[in-house]
Chains A and B, each alone.
Chain A
Amino acid sequence: MEIMRTIELGKTYRDGEKETEVLRGINLEIDEGEFVAIAGPSGSGKSTLLGLLAGLDKPTVGQVFIGETEITTLPENRLAKIRGRMLGFVFQSFNLIPTLTALENVELPLILNGIADAKKARELLDLVGLTNRSRHYPNQLSGGEQQRVAIARALVCDPPIILADEPTGNLDSKNSKTVMDLLISLCEEKQKTIVLVTHDLDFASKAQRTVHIEDGRIS
């Protein structure tokens, strides 16, 4: 059963009179519990596609559906609600908040989404093997640890979809493998839908399906 769908999705950036067409005619369907990799060279439009799937940006043309809801026309506050309930993000640069501890970073989505479950954040840190690092600030953690905190944060509201944008881009090979294994186990054991953006074909090959993007089109 499909959980995400795009219809003739396109995005053009305008800078003064100059127009750059980043994505065009993207038709994509992602099923519930599926692990999909979006692969392509740098500048091909992968991250833009992920941003449009998450409702972080508005498409120039086309539609994006999460479940039955078309998100392209929704106002920002409705989108925030959908992101909080349906989506979890993992970024290449971790994007943790530097003044919050690991535990507080994981707690943040719970608080913003009004979920009163104090134990949940600790459970998630336990899941990613960082129980003993919960009081540490991001600058006191290694890159791999920061990314695992980011994964815990992505999972804490129990969203059915995880969007991961180059999650191993800033990690060494050992930590990259740990993170990939974690994502795969989330898909297999917890039936999460994973959308992974990567330019690394080795990691892409671990997904159930790989969508190749080149010059803004699915190739």
Chain B
Amino acid sequence: MQLVAFAIKTLPAEVKSNWQRSLIIILCLAVGIASVAAVKIYTDSAISYFKDNVKEFFGADITIVLPSELTNDQQNFLDYQNLGTLTYISDYNQVAFNPFNRQNNMPVQVTVIDPEVYPLYGSLELVDSSSSKALLSETQAAIVSASLFEQLELKMDSLVIVGNTPYVIRGILQETSVPDGFMGRIYTATPPQAEIGNLGSKHAYLKLTEEKDIDTAKEEIAFYFEEETISTYVEISSHIDTSAKILGNVALIASLASLLLGGLGVANVAQVIARQKIKQSAIMKCVGGKTWQITFLIIIQIAFVGLIGVLFGFALGWALTGVLPTLLKDIISISIPIRPNINVFLQVSLLGLLVTVLFALLPVLRFTKIRPLAVYRDENPERLLSKNSKLVTALIVLLLAAIFGLFIGFIIDSPAVGLGFAFATLILTSIFLGIIKLVLKLILKLPIFFGTSAKMARRSLHRQYGRTSGAILALAFGISAILLISFIQTDVLNFMHSLRDDQDTPNIFALLDSESGPSSESLIEFLEKDDRLENVTSMKMLTASLETVNNRVYDASQASDPRSSILAKAFLIGAVDPKNMPTELNYTKGKLLEQNNEVVMEEYIATSLGLKVGDKIGFLIGENLREFDLVGFYSNMQKGINVTASSYATNEALQGLNPAFSTELLFARTKPGIAGEDVISTLRANFPNLGFAFDVGQLITLFDTIFTAISRFMQFLGFFALVSGLIILAGTMILAKWEKRKETALIRCLGGTTKDVINVQLWENGILGVLAAGIGIWLANMLSMLINVYLLEIEFVTRPLTNLFAFVLVLFAVIVVGAISLSDVLKERPLTVLRNE
């Protein structure tokens, strides 16, 4: 305690005498902590908000998905149950129209409620704060979502047509509580006409009496209804918690990158501080100090400076939570109230301190292992450093990584992931630092250093391998993170757009319900008459169950995937004309579908089930068992949109079969220049009872929005890494300033001009910039190529112009940062510098 008190007492003088170094530590940590704090505060606030309002979101304590027809027992239970308040909700998937322009339409979910009881928790919040209960008591009254109201250009107290049912708009939902997506919502007490559209689902919502325990209530309900159809708000809360935690942890780990880079900056400064304190360490040893005491004193002081950085970073992170809703508004439409949370503050602060201490420890330990004889040696006291063996150093590094990993594991509730992350980071950082040092050495050996300035720059860079490598790594990582995300975003979106724009690929899809809605013949006839369309085709999809493999009963227990038994029972076979396939399959094994006795299957499903090309498989379709030769596997669609069929067979092979469920998918392609959404509007206007119809362009636009929002968020985190890199670089230059000052004075004493000094700096910073930009761009391109080719299976496109732009930008940034960091060196008189020496 005496040591700690002494360290704190002497801290102000230390900070004052080393203010530049202290500032570098503060900035390095503040940037990293800001990114971690912003993510952690936002995700924790979101989790708390969802959990606190789970009953309002869920709408009940318990919900039951009701079967289409209730048994007498079920009906009696619901009629006479005494668990609490019960209400029924029916959801219909419909199309809503503007009554004056049927082309102006939108798919909607119509929720039919009892306004006297619904909602069981909270209230339907309307933009004018009026009561939904009063509004919906009138027949045919409806409350509509704001997006529906705007898109269909509706008016208050006028009509909206749903299917063939007119509703009077009495209120507009405030869309802060439920994200709306691309489907509108309507609440009403009057059901739409039953034969129009399709009934999505019917639920019973239950609010328990206070004395009723939720688990007991569920058990009672489970006596009458299948357990899978019963959900409790506790289960939903747990699901929300788990999903949000996973997403939050992914974001947290991404945000840790800039904090770890900040750690490299701290390590650089700690090395300089400890090196500067070599003589002091030796003096302390002369007066009885032990290595651990001296290390402790220096670390405590660095940690206190780090704490200032952590607090500053936390405040910055708090401020940044104001930016996150804007970045994420396309995927999280709810306004999440940011809440102060002492746990988050403590976790982030401890994390910042831990990073400070762990990164500072090794360099400090290296320099405090000075032999006390150094008090006598003014020249090169570093020769008196006791060297740790490489094994001891490696063990210390592994120990520090394990401590860091366990702490991260503690924050994200998964020690294994935390440890994995820490060791993976350690390994990757070591590899990249090694590569950077090697490349730097090779560059310095190149015969490009002609003239005195170039040679001096080479010597200067030689002296600073360690420190500059960290800065280069940080910068390279920052630029590569931003580029990589941008590359992937562009490639994926380009791929999606190419699908949308490819005239051979259908972009209009209509899914026909076999039990209700229009016949496929009438729809095909309608589509074929529409001169905006071409290539109108259809594909029937039948449900089937895998029964035999090579004439033996299929045994799901031998399959690799535990879900196989479900997969085997729920096959969806597409009936196609092999010569005119609706989608072009990417075959990975075997051959194309040709004959009527053949079937091709999605590779993942087939391998999960333990099937091989060449197997003879038997499908039970309806009451018929049909045998097929499994002739090929495909991995995905080469072209076109995945229509969820898990295998394909010929039309002839599947003709005349009557499975329990079948559906028909209609495909069409709009002619060049025709907007798909206009065709869909026409379809809905003429077939309001159409099950489902969509335009690929609309889906891609939605995907575009979501993917761009995620990319923007990741780039936001990558930006912090880039800023960390620039701070570390500036820090490295400031730390080496005394060497630069002496070198500049000597150049001037020997007749050099300011131009010569600037030339040396330009060479030095130019090489650092080239290396940082080169490695960053190489890394981004390499990772992008690997992800595109092996993970996304899309084409990798080289972007010479973007790469060149990034290269010039980083080079320019490094040269500017270098010039600013060392600008005062140019102003100093050589004699003043040499006298101070």
Q: Which residues of A are at the interface with B, using a C-beta cutoff of 8 A? A: 47, 51, 54, 56-57, 76-77, 80-81, 83-85, 88-89, 91, 93, 95, 97-101, 104, 107-109, 111-114, 116, 137, 153-154, 157, 165
- Could you list some 19 contacts between A and B, CB below 8 A? A56-B286, A80-B285, A83-B285, A83-B288, A89-B375, A91-B375, A97-B283, A98-B17, A99-B10, A99-B13, A100-B10, A107-B6, A108-B6, A108-B284, A112-B288, A113-B287, A114-B2, A153-B287, A157-B287
Assuming the A-B contacts A56-B372, A95-B375, A137-B13, are A116 and B283 also in contact, with contact meaning beta carbons closer than 8 angstroms in the complex? Answer: no
* B2 surroundings in chain A (CB, below 8 A): 111, 114, 116
Q: A80 — nearest CB in chain B belongs to which residue? A: B290
Q: Report chain A residues within 8 Å CB of B280.
A: 97
The interface residues of chain A lying within 8 Å CB-to-CB of B378 are: 93
Which residue of the partner chain, among A56, A99, A104, A107, contacts B375 with CB atoms under 8 Å?
A: A56
Closest-by-CB residue of A relative to B12 is A99
Nearest 10 CB-CB pairings of A with B: A84-B288, A109-B287, A112-B289, A56-B373, A113-B288, A57-B373, A56-B372, A99-B13, A95-B283, A111-B6
Contact A112 B287 (CB under 8 A): yes
Q: Residue on B with the closest CB to A115?
A: B2
Give Cα distance in the complex from A97 to B297, angstroms.
13
B376 at the interface (CB under 8 A from A): yes
CA distance A6 to B696 in the complex (A): 94
Tell me, yes or no, whether B155 is within 8 Å of chain A by CB.
no
Chain A residue at smallest Cβ distance from B3 = A111
Cβ of B293 < 8 Å from any Cβ of A? yes
In the assembled complex, which residues on chain A have CB atoms less than 8 Å from the CB atom of B375? 56, 89, 91, 95
Smallest beta-carbon distance B575→chain A, Å: 83
In the bound assembly, the distance between CA atoms of A108 and B281 in angstroms comes to: 12
Residues in B whose Cβ lies below 8 Å from that of A137: 13
Cβ of B279 within 8 Å of any chain A Cβ, yes or no, is yes
Find chain B residues with CB under 8 A from A112 CB. 3, 284, 287-290, 293
Q: Do A56 and B371 touch across chains, with their CB atoms under 8 A apart?
A: yes
B563 within 8 A of A: no
Name the A residues within 8 Å of B293 (CB-CB).
112
Chain A residues positioned under 8 Å from B555 (CB to CB): none
A31 to B283, CA, bound (A): 26
Assembly CA distance A89 to B289 (angstroms): 13
Task: Give Cα distance in the complex from A107 to B289, angstroms.
Answer: 12
Interface assignment of B291: CB less than 8 Å from any CB of chain A: yes
B497 CB, min distance to chain A CBs, angstroms: 62
Q: Determine the distance from Cα of A98 to Cα of B285 in the docked complex, in whole angstroms.
A: 16
Expressed in whole angstroms, the Cα–Cα distance for A128 and B806 within the complex equals 65
With a CB–CB cut-off of 8 A, which chain A residues contact B3? 111-112
Interface centre among A95, A116, A154, by most chain B C-beta atoms within 10 angstroms, is A95
Q: Does B9 contact A (CB under 8 A)?
A: yes
Chain A minimum-CB-distance residue to B292: A77
Q: Which residues of B contact A111 (CB under 8 A)?
A: 2-3, 6
Chain A residues, Cβ within 8 Å of B287: 83-84, 88-89, 108-109, 112-113, 153-154, 157
Per the bound structure, the CA–CA distance linking A137 and B12 in Å amounts to 13
Shortest CB-to-CB span from B383 to chain A, Å, is 10
A80 and B289: CB pair below 8 A? yes
**Interface assignment of B14: CB less than 8 Å from any CB of chain A:** yes
User: Complex Cα distance A80/B293, Å?
Assistant: 11
Bound CA span A51–B609, Å: 79
For A97, list chain B residues within 8 Å (CB). 280, 283-284
Quick one: closest B residue to A94, CB to CB? B283
Q: How far is the CB of B324 from chain A (nearest CB, A)?
A: 41
Residue of B nearest to A82 (CB): B288
Residues of B within 8 A of A108 (CB): 6, 284, 287, 289
Question: CA separation between A203 and B401, bound complex, in Å?
Answer: 57
Residue among A77, A80, A100, A114 having the largest count of chain B Cβ atoms under 10 Å: A80
Which residues of B from 1 to 20 have beta carbons under 8 Å from A?
Answer: 2-3, 6, 9-10, 13-14, 17
CB <8 Å contact, B286 and A83: yes
Cβ–Cβ < 8 Å partners of B386 in chain A? 76
Chain A nearest CB, measured from B210 CB (Å): 61
Cα(A56)–Cα(B378), bound, Å? 15
